[in-house]
Structure 1
Amino acid sequence: MSTIKKVAEIKLPCEANIVSILFKKPELLSNVELSINDFTNNAWKVYFAIVNDLYNIEKKNVLDVITVGLYLEKHPKLKTVYENFGGYNTIKNAIEYISEDNFNGYISELKKWNIVIKLCKMGIIVDDNKLKEFIDCTTEEIYEEYECMFNDIFINADTDMKSYSISYKIRDLIDELDEGLAVGLPYHNMRMLTNETGGQYMGSITLIGGLSNVGKSAFLRSSTIPSIIENNEKIVIMLNEDGLKKWQREFLVYVANNVIKKDLQKQTVRDGSFKNETKELLLEAAKWIENKDKDNVITIIPFKKYKTKNVIKIMNKYISLGIRYFALDTYKMDAGKVESHAWLQMQQNMVEINDIVKPESKNVHILITFQLSKGSVMQRYYTQDNIGMAKNIVDPASTCLMIRTLFDDERPGGKRALNIYTYAGKNGLSKVPVRLADNKHYQIIFIVKNREGAANTYQIVVEHDLSRNILKEVGFTNVPMDY
């Protein structure tokens, strides 16, 4: 008997239990991703097709013999197969002893054996001993076992510990530098910040820190996404808080204000009941996004539960497809049990992300937003200490920026008014004062860590309108240390 047939026999009770529970409580379909292809046994394929159609298409919440009978009158071919498998009595007998409390466990079991079947179809040998071992394994344990096997094979084949002479291909390096390959993706509308940090360059992590609702996600949308599009790059954005629709909504507002150059505020989009001109503007923005996204320029992946190992899986997958830019919004502790020293695990998780990113590994870039400690709310000068217990997450990063809103007394005429300048003139070398407008909003960006330039010597001032997703650099300043 082939391995796949053996797996089919092993998973048969699991398939029967899942479908029986769904007939008993069909609303559970709303909480899982199941398709007919997840089932191997023909009988349970048929019964699943019936319950799936009745719940998702015909919107039936009670699946008794009459409801099923009326449905099958419209599907005579399915009815014949259904009757050959025992009709409603098959389900009735199963429902009497099955408990829906075990539903999630049956789903995990089903997914596990489907993965084993895929391994077999890929030509990976799964013998009887391995099948017995898998019975007590979770999906994750199977994944880790094969990951270790492949890692061992390739590490032994070609070690990653290599040594080089300092002169190794140094002339080729000069040619690369001449072409500007060491310069990263620029921050849109932020010339000074890009020049100082080198932009978002390959083999590095950029951290963006700030308090809740300060606009970290808005910074990602406004500074990075336009540059991705302008430079014909692609990006994968992993979401920890906002979902897909929130990002789509925010990006529609961004395109309306920054690309089409027509006024559109977030609350107008959020509240609905659009005027004709608003609807037309949104459709125009959607068309622009669709045209730019024909080749999946921006891929959004929302996490149901955040785990760093899933970030690494996703990055490995898309790196193999040629993607070089990634973003994680927002970096947090892994979901699950909170350890007493969880901050140490956060630091280790950042190291593991860097092991994928760095030049000696996959040589890609990831921008990661994170939240500062709540004690930062009244602080004026930001340093690494504003991160709190997990401050060493900065260690693997090449660039760390922190954002706060300009305080009222830092505006012109205020008790602690800041002196803000920009460079102008024919050669861009003249230092010119900048006066902030009373009716506009501003933020300060602190360059806390910077491997390509200065850090903590001056701060960047940006104008922002978070209701319209507009962000642009206006100058630089020196924020005094807190006293």
Structure 2
Amino acid sequence: MVEKVKQENTIIKSDFYKELKTQRGIIESQLIFSLYGDTNYFFDYPVNPNDISNSMWRFYYHMLKEMVEDRGLKTLDAVSVGAYVNSKEEKIQKAYSEAGGYETIEKGIAIVEKENVDSYYNELQRYKTLMKLTEMGFPIKQNWDKYQEMDLETLNEVLEGLIAEAFVDSQFGNDRVEEMFDDVDEMLKEADEGIAQGLPLGSPLMDSIQNGLALGNITMLAANSGVGKTFLTTLLHIQSSINNEEPVLIIANEEEKSRYVQGLLTAYINARHKEAMFNKNRFLRGSFTDEEWEYLNEAKEWYLRKVSEGLVRFVNMNEFSMAKTIRLIKKYARLYDVRYFILDTLKLDNDTYSRVNDSSWLQLQQNMVKLYNVIKPSNLNVHVWVTTQMTKTNRRARYLDQSMIGMAKNITDVVSSLILVRMASQSEVSGKNAIKVVNSRGHSEMLDEDNDYMIVFWDKNRQGQTNRQVVLEVDRGLNLIRDVGKTQINNDLE
């Protein structure tokens, strides 16, 4: 331990480390003065003040944060900043004066190009990482000619490759030659215990077809916009993870964390209090009644007791990239033993949106292959639930299959189960063309024209059959689903 501390002190005192710290300080000043120059950038480029290494720039950032975030100032000129400083205690005023006061801010704004704020922010993350890697003993200095020009993502890929190369001779990569029946007894034991089935879905009826979310596989849920991909993900997967105490990481790029929490609270209230009729749009309108507060506090306390630390983690990916997604999966699978991941929703990488063309869909397909190669049984052996959007041209299709995903349908090549969902039409619910639904007891069940129903299709299913569909009664306001039965839709169009 003493030796390790000595080594770290030697690194931190080295000229190379000091130079990294100096460059980082320059970038910190560029970023901070860009934010002073245009406060609209402040919320787009969040910085933890403790991550700012230079004490002067940390002081100016603390001021900026309080003026913009707490006081709501939009323009930081000499008058507004001076009024803020004069309202603070004497030691703050003294520190401000010693740092050069508003003159320092004015000079900084004049020097930086605030339009380059994105590159300043990325450079700050890069130097922060380079310093951390140096502290950990990585040979950054020895390979500086190569590393100094690399962006953060390229640096990550290069270092991951070096680590993999170091193990290649001892592991032969991940491709091991084995005797076919060496582990047959263990395989039979695991099959008898139902280990291969994986996490059950929140719908027993769907589970009778899907047979769980098996590890080493990708399950894809596809639906048109507004049908309820996140609604189903919350009730079928997240709720099951909580009930079965199975850790899950949610990687989201459309919905905020609060929307998932609101959905879970709503589902709890209405499942346990039939009379409550608590609609999740109440979170939009506010002004809860005393009774609603009782329901909400009960639901909140239940989840706080039930959901232990690390059971449900959430990442809001502001700029989607499959490379970042894969890094998150690797990190949480290896460091925290997370076996279940949710990607809501699959998209093209953000830097592809500006140049979308016919070949962009090839990138989407290649990204899915990269994802599968990481999660498959011979690698991490984890499960990923992926949601994706169907094309708008298929809104009137009665029978759903992978062609409904459009040009990107080849993304399903590596998917073990492809689930497609649509709302049942009124003619399918009642009348002479109403679909025949058989419940779990083998009896026909009539649908109620006052209720909403979803029809769930399987186009691919390595875990079970694909020739039957499941009918769910849904209330997307109360966040409830109920198994109704199975049906069979003819493969034709309206």
Q: How far did 1:26 drift?
A: 4.3
The whole-number CA distance in structure 2 between the counterparts of 1:96 and 1:205 is: 51
1:2 alignment partner, one of 15, 28, 37: 15
Q: Which residue of 2 aligns with 1:438?
A: 449
Equivalent residue runs for 1:24-43 within 5 Å: 24-43=37-56
2:69 alignment partner, one of 52, 56, 64: 56
Q: Scaled by the length of structure 1, what TM-score is found?
A: 0.91
Matched, 1:301 2:320: no
The whole-number CA distance in structure 1 between the counterparts of 2:285 and 2:116 is: 41
- Match of 1:391, as an amino acid? K
- Match of 1:469, as an amino acid? N
- Match of 1:32, as an amino acid? Y
- CA offsets 1:169-208 (integer angstroms, 9 cap, x no match): 11111111121112222222x3232122211111111111
Call closer, same or farther: CA 1:375–1:153 in 2, change over 3 Å. Answer: same
Equivalent residue runs for 1:299-378 within 5 Å: 299-320=313-334, 321-337=336-352, 338-378=356-396
Q: How far did 1:4 drift?
A: 1.5
Q: Secondary structure at the match of 2:393?
A: helix
Matched, 1:93 2:107: yes
2:424 alignment partner, one of 392, 402, 406: 406
Equivalent residue runs for 1:87-166 within 5 Å: 87-127=101-141, 130-159=143-172, 160-166=174-180
Q: How far did 1:58 drift?
A: 4.4
The whole-number CA distance in structure 1 between the counterparts of 2:257 and 2:248 is: 15
CA contact (8 A) 2:221 2:385 kept: yes
Percent identity among equivalent residues? 27
The whole-number CA distance in structure 1 between the counterparts of 2:93 and 2:143 is: 39
Q: Which residue of 2 aligns with 1:192?
A: 205
- Match of 1:33, as an amino acid? P
Q: In proportion to residue count, which structure has more helix?
A: 2
Q: Which residue of 2 aligns with 1:427?
A: none
**Unaligned regions of 5+ residues in structure 2, if any?**
1-13
Q: Secondary structure at the match of 2:395?
A: helix
Q: How far did 1:452 drift?
A: 2.2
- CA offsets 1:389-430 (integer angstroms, 9 cap, x no match): 11122221111111111122222323x222211242xxxxxx
CA contact (8 A) 2:81 2:102 kept: no
Q: How far did 1:5 drift?
A: 0.3
The whole-number CA distance in structure 2 between the counterparts of 1:89 and 1:384 is: 62
- CA offsets 1:274-322 (integer angstroms, 9 cap, x no match): 2221222122222222222232322221221111111111111211201
Q: Secondary structure at the match of 1:390?
A: helix
Call closer, same or farther: CA 1:56–1:341 in 2, change over 3 Å. Answer: same
CA contact (8 A) 2:205 2:440 kept: no
Call closer, same or farther: CA 1:44–1:65 in 2, change over 3 Å. Answer: farther
Call closer, same or farther: CA 1:281–1:8 in 2, change over 3 Å. Answer: same
Call closer, same or farther: CA 1:124–1:432 in 2, change over 3 Å. Answer: same
Q: Scaled by the length of structure 2, what TM-score is found?
A: 0.89
Q: Which residue of 2 aligns with 1:448?
A: 459
The whole-number CA distance in structure 1 between the counterparts of 2:204 and 2:260 is: 26
- Match of 1:225, as an amino acid? I
Q: Which residue of 2 aligns with 1:17?
A: 30
Call closer, same or farther: CA 1:467–1:50 in 2, change over 3 Å. Answer: closer
Q: How far did 1:68 drift?
A: 3.8
- CA offsets 1:332-387 (integer angstroms, 9 cap, x no match): 22212324312221111111111122111111111111111222211111122222
Matched, 1:46 2:82: no
The whole-number CA distance in structure 1 between the counterparts of 2:109 and 2:484 is: 68
- Match of 1:477, as an amino acid? T
Q: Which residue of 1 aligns with 2:230?
A: 217
The whole-number CA distance in structure 2 between the counterparts of 1:110 and 1:375 is: 44
CA contact (8 A) 1:65 1:88 kept: no
Q: Secondary structure at the match of 2:443?
A: strand
CA contact (8 A) 1:398 1:449 kept: yes
The whole-number CA distance in structure 2 between the counterparts of 1:78 and 1:176 is: 65
The whole-number CA distance in structure 2 between the counterparts of 1:106 and 1:315 is: 27
CA contact (8 A) 1:3 1:126 kept: no
Q: How far did 1:84 drift?
A: 4.2
Call closer, same or farther: CA 1:269–1:20 in 2, change over 3 Å. Answer: closer
Q: How far did 1:69 drift?
A: 7.5
**Range that drifts further, 249-258 or 7-16:** 7-16
Q: Which residue of 1 aligns with 2:437?
A: 420
The whole-number CA distance in structure 2 between the counterparts of 1:362 and 1:24 is: 46
Call closer, same or farther: CA 1:82–1:286 in 2, change over 3 Å. Answer: same
Matched, 1:171 2:188: no
Matched, 1:397 2:415: yes
Q: How far did 1:233 drift?
A: 1.0
CA contact (8 A) 1:3 1:120 kept: no
Q: How far did 1:7 drift?
A: 0.7
Aligned residues: 473
The whole-number CA distance in structure 2 between the counterparts of 1:393 and 1:354 is: 11
Q: Which residue of 2 aligns with 1:470?
A: 480
Equivalent residue runs for 1:201-280 within 5 Å: 201-261=214-274, 262-280=276-294
CA contact (8 A) 1:46 1:78 kept: no
The whole-number CA distance in structure 1 between the counterparts of 2:309 and 2:341 is: 16
Call closer, same or farther: CA 1:148–1:433 in 2, change over 3 Å. Answer: same
* Aligned residues: CA RMSD: 2.3
The whole-number CA distance in structure 1 between the counterparts of 2:443 and 2:373 is: 43
